[in-house]
Chains A and B, each alone.
Chain A
Amino acid sequence: MPLAYDPLIRLQGVTRIFHTEEVETHALSRIDLEIRAGEYVAVCGPSGCGKTSLLSILGLLDSPSEGSYVLAGEPVSTLNAEQRARVRARAIGFVFQAFNLIGDLTVYQNVELPLRYRGLGAAERRAAAHEALERVGLLHRLHHYPGQLSGGQQQRVAVARAVAGKPLVILADEPTGNLDSANGAGVMALLGELHAGGATLVVVTHDPRYLREAQRSIYLFDGRVVPAARRDREVA
């Protein structure tokens, strides 16, 4: 997928409604959002404001109830599960708060897993996984299992897994949430380096320190994007 699309991500009127029994919950309401290629965007807001729902839609783990989503010029909001999986494999890298490494796989196997789903050959996978692990400084832990690593190291493996396939966008959901401050800072520095290298980043975070590192921050409240002018008032 070429990088020349601008904006890389365009959401228009995206609404996500969850139905549980007789209750209808509007997780996202008429979100309009554009993210350019190479941009570093932070998403923040109070608990339950819809940050994770937004990230799920951006990451094609979920589909909007209404509205459209165009990723790299391709409308993706109406894709079925199988098609979304294919787009995820080639265009999106995830970094989760809980690392979400697979305990039965080695560090190397975890990192090359998305490349496998993308259908890359063994040599390509090996080269890409090695490069990604080298980038996060864990090449020497290739054959270790996640359980043998510290939390910070696990999250660095998760970052390596997210970047190994050179996705169009890296989505990070509270990447420092399970880490102490030193490790958290290390991971955020790593993400900063990736951005400096041209990666498009969307990071959900609560931490004001990391908000400042983003080029732009989006504040969500009750499932809506709050304009910068109103943000201070809402927060107050």
Chain B
Amino acid sequence: MMDALWRDLRFALRGLMRSPAFTAIAVLTLALGIGANTAIFSVINAVLLRPLAYAQPDQLVSLRARLLGRGRKDVPMSQPEYQDLRREVPAIRDLAAVWPININLTGSDEPERIQAAVVSSNYFSLLGVAPVLGRDFTKADDGGRIGYVALISYDLWQRRFGGERSVIGKTVRLDDDPITIVGVMPRGFRHPVESGASPMELWAPIALDNPDTTFMNVRPARVFDLIGRIQPGATVDQLQAQLLALTGRLATRYPDSYPTALGWQAEGIPLAERVVGNVRPALLVLLGAVGFVLLIGCANVANLLLARATTRDREIAIRTAMGGSRGRLIQQLLTESVLLATVGGLVGLLIAAWGTSALGDLARLYLPRARDITIDHSVLGFTAFLTILTGLGFGIIPAFQASRPDLQSVLKDAGRGASAGAPRNRVRGALVVMEVAVALVLLAGAGLLLRSFQRLISVEEGFNPEHLLALQVWLPVQNDPSKGRYFTDPQRRAFYDRAQAAVGQVPGVRQVALVSRLPYRGRGDTRFEIEGRPIPPDQPPPVAEGRQVTPEYFQTMQIPIRRGRTLAAVVDSTSPVEVVINQTMASKYWPGEDPIDRRIRLFGPRGPMATIVGVAGDVRQVAPDQPPREELFLSSQRFPGQEMAFLVRTEGDPAGLGSAVTRAIRQVDPQQPVFGIMPMEKVIANASAERRFSLLLLTLFAGLALLLSAIGIYGVMAYNTTQRRHEIGIRMALGAGSREVLGLVVGQGMRLVGLGLLFGLTGAWVLSRVLTSQLYDVSARDPFTYLTVAVLLGAVALAALYVPARRAVRLDPMTSLRSE
């Protein structure tokens, strides 16, 4: 058995080496297909399949809440809720709290803004991961205040401390507070729900059993992501049932905190599901798409093998005549196919290695666990499996076809006329139909995403992002805020005023404004109440998107003031509170009325009363695909926050001014990190990174499918033309001119293509719903897209057919007639 296999392998190898052109084309086609599949699978493996790198990850759950009354989900929990869950949900064995924050790291090297988390001391032990250096947190690390000790990530240890073991015990400053590093987490440890773009690099403890009500110990302070470990044997369904019961009890116990209209509801889901988020459908679509590409590749190689089998009829007939069984012949032919696929698979791995790296970079912006994308044992196993499957897949039909030659006609060499190869022609034709159909499905998907993306980027942002640089600062907040350099409003106002003036002096800067949160960087509700319109007790208060801005904001962003004026300059915190609202808010609350000089109370019953002084144009604040919501702008001079973004309108390319602007801010405070420096256009682009990722890959795969299909159509028709040259010669002798010959070849090809388009349109129609969630302002069954891609594919097919058709026209009938 092994001897026969070895013989087959050697024979197959010799055969492939004898046909270098065939081998090269087949290997390249397979390598592209297998490589692309491997690369996408490496993403799927890292993001969806690989278990979370924590102890018994199937016991880990994520606990958040829904606000049904406001249509919101994934709402963090408060400290009292954390305590309620620990006490009253028996399915939970342990519960850790995480408050993700950004923090300024100073004290050595350049000041840096890093992603950090304040966590309950059981965070690491709950996840079952111990530090690689130093120690874990203990309850003693936190005496009712955010800890003065920290654990750092392996990457931060390497980057900032050179990987020196002496880092343990070292003191750095986090938001000006001295913090002692007590441990380093192992390489590859990641916070479960971190962004690929900004990984968590430091953890500090917080004791959540602190009874001090000023210390975040109030129910509305919902800042904590909760990670739980359920009891062995308990299920997420049981947990969810207990959470629903708790929801009811809390609503009864604390009606003020949980009004019926709010619809607060605790929710627990497997942590792995939370990590994956909503990227699963997009990734599965990509896996399907890349599978289609491989299918087309297989069809091409199968076609090549079928064509090659014709030239081997005599060899196979002789083997059969000498007693070779059909099974034995099939085994030999399949050995060749699998060998071909193996070489393709190996080259594909090289493509995948490059592709995986490129995908990782591309995906880091939005994909969870994107940093774990790598070619590991699972991916290699998948590739090996896929390679064998591919080899069998494209080899089986040609092997069965080739293994039953018409002995008499082949050996007598008396086969004549087009009918001799009819079964193979039918198979080849069917493969072309399939290729075209699959390519059309991919093209339709890519076309829909492209059209959707076109709509998205043509959406009016409401401001002019060109020549606009964005950057952020976050003033430090010490554990004892009263000791901070930026504790008071005047301190913060002074910094911002000086920094704004300094940036304004940078050559190339035309205008500078500040805003508390950039557009497309999430939403932030500000509660308000309109004077004279009391809120019914059972209704939640109205909220609007709230931003603090400097008076120059509207002019710098080029947001028109439709009515009234911009905010007045404010010199201290006693100035009257002014507010500018957007058009959506004006239309919703003062339809047909002039809102100017109307008053609203901000932040709650004890908040300040503000006068509306202007109505600004609408801006898409939350995301490009979400319509503008009600928005109100307050003076950042009146309410100077800890976090502000600078918006710098520049004369030329904004990217070139980043360093100069950073230096200007550092002149005001050398310890102040400046981060997130990027042109506003990139901020917008990043907001649609997920769509770009899907679009780019699906377009790439569709392009590949189009190319492979064209090659497939060309290959089949070129082969058919060669095979039919005698028939074409006869037709020419009977009076067929170039038009008739052209029509014969093109007509035959286009019949197959037409059938493929028909199947493809049907397939695209059926599969369209899988893309629905990724589309914006385009129907998944958009007829224009379907028609366009069908015409495109038809045109490409026509071009692919033209070459063999021209060749047929140029045939010399005399030579063709002699060829039989």
Contacts and interface: CB of A to CB of B under 8 A. Distances in A.
B734 A88 contact: yes
Given A61-B814, A102-B727, A104-B422, A117 B417 contact: no
Contacts of B417: 101-104, 146-147
A26 interface: no
B732 A85 contact: yes
Contact residues of B: prevailing secondary structure: helix
A103 B416 contact: yes
Contacts of B416: 98, 103
B734 A161 contact: yes
Given A102-B418, A104-B417, A146-B417, A85 B814 contact: no
A89 interface: yes
Interface in A54-72: 56, 59, 61-62
B814 A86 contact: no
Interface string B416-438: 11111010000000000000000
Nearest to A89: B735
8 contacts: A59-B733, A89-B735, A94-B733, A96-B817, A103-B418, A113-B731, A114-B734, A146-B417
Interface stretch (B16-24, B570-578, B736-744): B736-744
Given A61-B814, A98-B416, A114 B727 contact: no
A96 B733 CA distance: 10
Contacts of B813: 61
Interface string B712-753: 000000000000001100111111111010000000000000
A100 B740 contact: no
A92 B418 CA distance: 24
Contacts of B419: 103-104, 145-147
A118 B735 contact: yes
A85 B814 CA distance: 13
Nearest to B726: A100
B74 interface: no
A177 to B, nearest CB: 13
Given A85-B738, A114-B734, 13 more contacts: A62-B814, A82-B738, A96-B733, A98-B416, A101-B730, A102-B727, A103-B419, A103-B420, A103-B727, A104-B422, A113-B731, A147-B419, A161-B734
Contacts of A146: 417, 419
Given A102-B417, A117-B740, A94 B734 contact: yes
B820 interface: yes
Interface in B505-558: none
A59 to B, nearest CB: 7
Contacts of B727: 102-104
A189 interface: no
A81 interface: yes
Nearest to A118: B735
Interface string A13-49: 0000000000000000000000000000000000000
A88 B735 contact: yes
Nearest to A92: B735
A90 interface: yes
B649 to A, nearest CB: 68
B734 A113 contact: yes
Given A56-B814, A96-B817, A101-B417, A61 B734 contact: no
A232 to B, nearest CB: 32
Contacts of A88: 732-735
Given A98-B416, A100-B730, A101-B417, A90 B735 contact: yes
Task: List 8 A-B pairs, minimum CB-CB distance, nearest first.
Answer: A89-B735, A103-B417, A103-B419, A117-B735, A85-B737, A114-B734, A104-B418, A88-B735
Which of B416, B417, B726, B738 neighbours the largest number of chain A CB atoms within 10 Å of its CB? B417
B137 to A, nearest CB: 81
Contacts of A86: 735, 737
Nearest to A53: B814
A81 B741 CA distance: 12
Contacts of A117: 731, 734-737, 740
Interface in B796-820: 813-814, 817, 820
Given A85-B732, A113-B731, A100 B817 contact: yes
Interface string B53-67: 000000000000000
Contacts of B420: 103
Interface string A109-140: 00001100110000000000000000000000
Interface in B321-355: none
B427 to A, nearest CB: 16
Contacts of B732: 61, 85, 88
Nearest to A114: B734
B418 A98 contact: no
Nearest to B741: A85
A107 to B, nearest CB: 13
A98 B732 CA distance: 16
Nearest to B420: A103
A88 B417 CA distance: 22
